[in-house]
Structure 1
Amino acid sequence: MKKFETEMLNLTYECLTRYWQKDYKFVISYCAKEVIWCGARQDEFMLSREVVEDDFRTNAKEIPPCHLLNAEFLAKSNASLCVITGNYRVVTDESADFFLQAQQRCTFVWEKTKEGPKICHMHISNPIGELKIVKEEAFPNTIGKMAHRYLINEIHRRTDSGRVSACIENGSLAFFEISKILFVSALGKECVIQTTSGEKFVKNSISDLQKQVGDNLIAIHRSYLVNPEFIRSIQRYQITLVDGTELPVPQRKYNELRQKLMKLYTIEED
């Protein structure tokens, strides 16, 4: 990936992250004067930075703080433009008064200028039928199929009693809740289990742990098992977890892993 593409990819991710944390001014600071904005709401087709800023200001008053999960971005560029396309989930923060979640796609077109990179086009959409946003709403107030599935999965994850047992350094047996494991990494013939509360060295092999966890953790590499619920993004050739940890994905496994994650978060019609 070219340096310009990498920079614009990271900047796009930051723009989206900060927008959903209600910091709309960060995005506006990168908008060209005649930026085109096509949003998910019915009336969001706007052709100037001033009008877009007014729209974002209104939205910031209504939307709850949210974060992105399972984000994937691709970049294409020429001498003066870089197009970033993305696919991700927006999930309300735990501090929000209610729970909602939605799948979104985006396109950002960045242009090189004397003042630095500027956004000349932004387009964000939701899959057909996933969210019902009426003209007056800045954020959906009904729960869609994907949000419903995510909610059920979250309840299951938080109440699941599934555990994995492992022998720790002093020779005693320890139990780990699978729902709280971020990832497992091989360390020679032993392993490190990284949980939401810290890491623990265990004497079990990664193949032994993989047999215990079954499909609850995904093997992204012969040395790593990852909990898909904690994957924040995937790109060639690595994944990033919600805590910022970056783990490698072998080139030969990238497409397989990508398809597996897409299938995991795809809603099948009844």
Structure 2
Amino acid sequence: MLKEKVNKCLQMTEDIMTSHYRGNHDVFKAHVHKACLWIGSIASEYYHGKEKIIEVLKEEKKELPDIILTSREFECVFQDRNSCTIVGRYIGITDMNNGELFRDMQRVTFGWKEEKEQLYIRHIHVSNPMANVQESEIFPHKLGIFTHEYMNMLLRKELKSEMIKIKDQQNVYHIIQLSNIIFLEAFDHRTLIHTTNGDFLTRMLLLDVEKKIMTINDKMIIRVHKSYAVNKYYIDSIQRYEMKLAGEYRIPISKQKYLDVLEKLHTRKMRGSGYE
């Protein structure tokens, strides 16, 4: 298969999965082969033929919530003269009115074949179901080892001996280790720095403290509200427009930043076996 057509299969695979979790199957219907085989993530999901697969998708659409795919990665792992195999992985985030349901990583395989200059899907395999997470949970045990190991890796990689020097209200300088900062709070044109070792009030604006931290570590702090910025490693749980931090702190999340916060918590780039 020509490189141009392999690239088209790559893009269509991503488009199909993204559209699927938004309840739109138009691209899929246009390219699924009449003899396609779909092997789903549970034992009962083993379907032959275009008509049957579309029928199943139509029923599924009635109960499937809108899911945003993040951390998408797709690649071609095999190609010959008339076919190619595309594999991909991603994380889904479900935006619900009654709370936030995070989903586990899912992996898919698409087998494409060219017939009479048209590209068709001959085989689909979905590796695992997306496990529901209860409201107000963000990284529960049942989400699996993927999230747990990933966050531990980030913690080891990013929270080293990084420190900032801050002058308090009495003009006394304090050396604060970044990994001890829980969150920042705007307070009457000043900033209250909440840490595991106590609170520090500085005359600096929240934005200036945030910038100072980001010059050392630009991935640790997330702005969640005009008056709050949090250390993402101290987040215990999230529900709609509020998060709970270690130490029982409850922090509001502005409506404008809500989806952006979720995206930042879950987006990562993966190449091979490493993370960036």
TM bucket by the smaller chain? 0.5 to 0.7
Counterpart CA distance in 2 for 1:149 and 1:82 is 28
Q: CA deviation at 1:95?
A: 5.2
The answer to whether the 8 A contact 2:105-2:146 is kept is no
- Aligned residue identity for 2:275: K
Q: CA deviation at 1:211?
A: 1.0
Deviations 1:83-120 (A, max 9, x none): 00111111112557652412111000111122621100
Counterpart CA distance in 2 for 1:40 and 1:106 is 10
Counterpart CA distance in 1 for 2:74 and 2:33 is 22
The answer to whether the 8 A contact 2:38-2:123 is kept is yes
- Aligned residue identity for 2:71: N
Counterpart CA distance in 2 for 1:41 and 1:12 is 21
Q: Secondary structure at the match of 1:6?
A: helix
Counterpart CA distance in 2 for 1:177 and 1:7 is 46
Asked if 1:175 is matched to 2:175, the reply is: no
- Aligned residue identity for 1:24: H
For structure 2, the 5+ residue unaligned runs are 135-139, 152-181, 186-203, 223-261
Which residue is 2:73 aligned to?
Answer: 72
Which residue is 2:48 aligned to?
Answer: 47
Q: Secondary structure at the match of 1:109?
A: strand
- Distance change >3 Å, CA 230–CA 57, structure 1 → 2: same
Asked if 1:229 is matched to 2:264, the reply is: yes
Which residue is 2:169 aligned to?
Answer: none
Q: CA RMSD in A?
A: 3.9
- Aligned residue identity for 1:211: I
The answer to whether the 8 A contact 1:100-1:147 is kept is no
- Distance change >3 Å, CA 234–CA 79, structure 1 → 2: farther
For structure 1, the 5+ residue unaligned runs are 132-139, 154-159, 164-171, 179-201, 218-226, 236-253, 262-270
Poorly superposed stretches of 4+, deviation over 2 Å: 1-5, 93-98, 140-150, 160-163, 212-217, 227-235
Counterpart CA distance in 1 for 2:268 and 2:221 is 18
Output the TM-score relative to the length of structure 1.
0.54
Deviations 1:194-227 (A, max 9, x none): xxxxxxxx9x9xxx8441546559xxxxxxxxx9
Q: Secondary structure at the match of 1:34?
A: strand
- Distance change >3 Å, CA 61–CA 211, structure 1 → 2: same
- Distance change >3 Å, CA 149–CA 109, structure 1 → 2: closer
Q: Secondary structure at the match of 1:84?
A: strand
Counterpart CA distance in 2 for 1:147 and 1:124 is 17
Output the TM-score relative to the length of structure 2.
0.53
Number of residue pairs the alignment of both structures matches: 180
Asked if 1:145 is matched to 2:142, the reply is: yes
Asked if 1:85 is matched to 2:82, the reply is: no
Which residue is 1:211 aligned to?
Answer: 216
Q: Secondary structure at the match of 1:70?
A: strand
- Aligned residue identity for 1:9: L
Which has a greater percent of strand? 2
Percent identity between the two aligned chains: 20
Q: Equivalent of 1:161, from 183, 187, 201?
A: 183
Which residue is 1:194 aligned to?
Answer: none
